[in-house]
C-alpha cells in the first residue's frame, strides 16, 4: 500500500515538473509565478471537486439508511441540515492540503505559501458553514420532537451565533490571508468594546429574551397573545433575534422588538384557547332610585319565576319568623327585607348556573361593584364554554339580552345617557 502511494506521488511529481518546465517556457518573463498559481489552483480545485463528489456520495448514501425520523431523530436532523456535505468538503480539503507540497515539489516554492493560505481559508469557511448547519440540525431535531420552546431558544441562539460567527470568522480569515497573528487583532478589540456593545444592543437583548422565553415556557410561536402597550391582539407568527411578528385578527401583521417580550406586559391567551373557555366580565349599570323593598304582592308575583320560586319561599318564611319578635313589625324598614336588586342578583346567579353554555368548573358570580355617578354596576363574572371569538360573542350577547329585559320584571331601571335634541 505504501509503495502504491509513493508511486502515485511520483506520478504527480513528474507531471508537475513537466508542467513547471512547460509553463516556464510559454509564460512571459517575470510572470511565470502567476501562471504557476493558476495552474496549481486549477489542478487542486479539480482534485478537490472529484474527492468531494466521491465523499458526498459515500456519506449521504450511508445516512439514507437512517431516514426514519422516529427511530433516528438525531441522524435524520444531521442529514436534513446537510452537515454531511460540510464533512465531505472538510475531508477533501484536508487531503488537498496534505498532498499539495508532495505533489508540487520544487515548482516555484514561493507560490506554496499562497496555495497553503487558500487551503486554510477554505477550511475556515467550511468550518463556519458546518457550525451554522449544526444549529440547523439542532432546530430540526427539536422540531421532530415537537419541543417548540427549545426551537425558539435555538432560533435566538442561532441568530446571535451567526452574527458573532461572521465577526470572528472574518477576523480569522483576515489573519489566514495576510498571515497576521490573531492575538494582534484580538488585542486591539478592547478599544472598541463599548462601540460593539452599543451596536449589538438589540442583538444582545433579543438573545437574552429568547433564552428567557424558552426557559420560562411563557410564549411560543402560534400562541394567542395581547399586548396592551401597542393595542395588539393576535397569534405569534415568528420570534427572531430582533423582531417578533404577530398576525392580528384584522388580517394585518405587526412587528415589535423581541426584547419587548421581556420588558412589556404580555397577555398570553393561549391557555384560554386550549381549555376552550373564555371569561365573561361585564357590568350592567342600574339606577339607584329604582331600588326598593318588595311588598308581599310583589313577592307573590315573583314567585311565579321558576328559578327563584324556592328562594323566595324560604326567605319569606325566615323574614316572617324574625318579624314576630320585632316591635313595630308593620313598618317595612324594621328587620330584614327583600329588595328588587337583591332578588334580581340572585336570579342572575341562578340563570348563569343553569345556562348550558357556561362552564360549571369555573367561577360563576354576580356581584355589586363600587357605586359610580352612572349608577350601581352589577357585574357578571363567568366563563363561556367556547373560546371561539364568534361563538363567544353570541353566548355573551344572549346572556345580557336576557338579563337586560328580565330586569324590567323586578322594576329596575337601567342607566343610559339621554340626549336632548
Examine the pLDDT at 14 and tell me if it is beyond 70. no
- What's domain 189-275's architecture? Roll (2.30)
Between 34 and 77, where is the model more confident?
77
Between 108 and 234, where is the model more confident?
234
Of 309, 311, 330, which Cα lies nearest the Cα of 320? 330
Residue partners of 134: CB distance under 8 A and separation at least 6: 81, 83
φ, ψ of residue 147 to 5 degrees: the values are: -100, 80
Between 388 and 214, where is the model more confident?
388
Q: pLDDT tens digit string along 311-328?
A: 999 998 888 888 777 777
Domain ranges for the chain, please list them.
11-180, 189-275, 279-322+334-410
**Cβ atoms 290, 408 nearer than 8 A:** no
Of 276-280, 342-346, 349-353, the range with the lowest mean pLDDT is: 276-280
Of 169, 172, 139, which Cα lies nearest the Cα of 157? 139
User: Cα–Cα distance between 417 and 409 in angstroms, integer?
Assistant: 22
**Cβ atoms 93, 122 nearer than 8 A:** yes
Examine the pLDDT at 38 and tell me if it is beyond 80. no
**Cβ atoms 387, 272 nearer than 8 A:** yes
Q: pLDDT tens digit string along 256-268?
A: 887 777 777 788 7
Residue 226's DSSP bridge partners are: 233, 267
Helices (H), 27-147: 32-63, 73-80, 83-103, 110-144
Residue 284's DSSP bridge partners are: 378
Sign of CA dihedral 285, 288, 292, 298: negative
pLDDT the model gives residue 340? 93
pLDDT the model gives residue 224? 81
DSSP state of 267: E
Cell reading at 311: 328562594
Q: pLDDT tens digit string along 63-85?
A: 777 666 667 777 777 777 777 78
Amino acid at each position: 500500500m505504501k509503495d502504491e502511494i509513493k508511486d502515485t506521488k511520483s506520478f504527480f511529481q513528474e507531471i508537475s515538473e513537466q508542467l513547471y518546465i512547460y509553463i516556464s517556457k510559454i509564460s512571459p518573463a517575470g510572470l511565470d509565478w502567476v501562471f504557476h498559481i493558476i495552474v496549481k489552483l486549477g489542478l487542486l480545485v479539480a482534485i478537490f471537486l472529484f474527492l468531494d463528489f466521491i465523499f458526498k456520495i459515500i456519506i449521504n448514501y450511508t445516512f439514507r439508511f437512517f431516514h426514519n425520523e422516529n427511530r433516528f431523530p438525531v441522524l435524520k436532523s444531521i442529514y436534513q441540515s446537510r452537515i454531511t456535505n460540510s464533512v465531505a468538503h472538510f475531508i477533501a480539503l484536508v487531503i488537498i492540503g496534505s498532498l499539495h507540497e508532495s505533489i508540487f515539489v520544487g515548482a516555484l516554492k514561493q507560490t506554496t505559501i499562497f496555495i497553503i493560505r487558500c487551503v486554510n481559508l477554505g477550511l475556515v469557511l467550511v468550518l463556519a458553514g458546518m457550525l451554522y448547519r449544526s444549529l440547523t440540525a439542532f432546530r430540526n431535531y427539536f422540531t421532530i420532537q415537537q419541543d417548540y420552546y427549545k426551537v425558539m431558544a435555538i432560533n435566538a441562539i442561532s441568530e446571535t451565533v451567526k452574527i458573532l460567527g461572521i465577526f470572528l470568522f472574518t477576523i480569522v480569515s483576515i489573519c489566514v490571508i495576510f498571515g497576521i497573528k490573531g492575538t494582534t487583532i484580538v488585542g486591539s478589540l478592547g478599544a472598541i468594546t463599548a462601540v460593539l456593545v452599543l451596536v449589538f444592543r438589540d442583538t444582545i437583548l433579543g438573545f437574552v429574551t429568547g433564552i428567557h422565553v424558552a426557559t420560562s415556557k411563557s410564549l411560543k410561536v402560534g400562541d394567542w397573545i395581547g399586548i396592551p402597550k401597542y393595542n395588539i391582539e393576535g397569534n405569534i407568527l415568528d420570534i427572531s433575534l430582533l423582531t417578533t411578528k404577530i398576525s392580528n385578527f384584522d388580517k394585518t401583521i405587526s412587528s415589535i422588538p423581541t426584547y419587548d417580550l421581556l420588558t412589556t406586559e404580555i397577555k398570553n391567551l393561549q391557555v384560554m384557547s386550549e381549555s376552550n373557555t373564555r371569561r365573561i366580565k361585564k357590568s350592567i349599570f342600574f339606577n339607584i332610585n329604582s331600588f326598593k323593598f318588595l311588598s308581599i304582592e310583589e313577592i307573590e308575583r315573583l314567585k311565579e319565576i321558576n328559578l327563584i320560586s324556592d328562594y323566595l319561599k324560604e326567605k319569606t318564611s325566615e323574614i316572617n319568623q324574625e318579624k314576630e319578635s320585632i316591635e313595630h313589625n308593620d313598618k317595612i324598614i324594621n328587620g330584614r327585607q327583600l329588595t328588587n336588586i337583591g332578588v334580581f342578583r340572585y336570579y342572575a346567579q341562578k340563570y348563569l348556573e343553569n345556562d348550558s353554555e357556561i362552564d360549571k368548573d369555573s367561577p360563576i358570580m354576580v356581584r355589586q361593584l363600587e357605586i359610580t355617578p352612572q349608577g350601581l354596576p352589577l357585574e357578571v363574572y363567568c366563563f363561556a364554554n367556547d373560546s371561539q371569538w364568534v361563538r363567544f360573542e353570541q353566548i355573551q350577547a344572549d346572556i345580557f339580552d336576557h338579563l337586560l329585559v328580565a330586569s324590567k320584571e323586578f322594576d329596575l331601571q337601567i342607566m343610559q345617557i339621554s340626549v336632548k335634541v
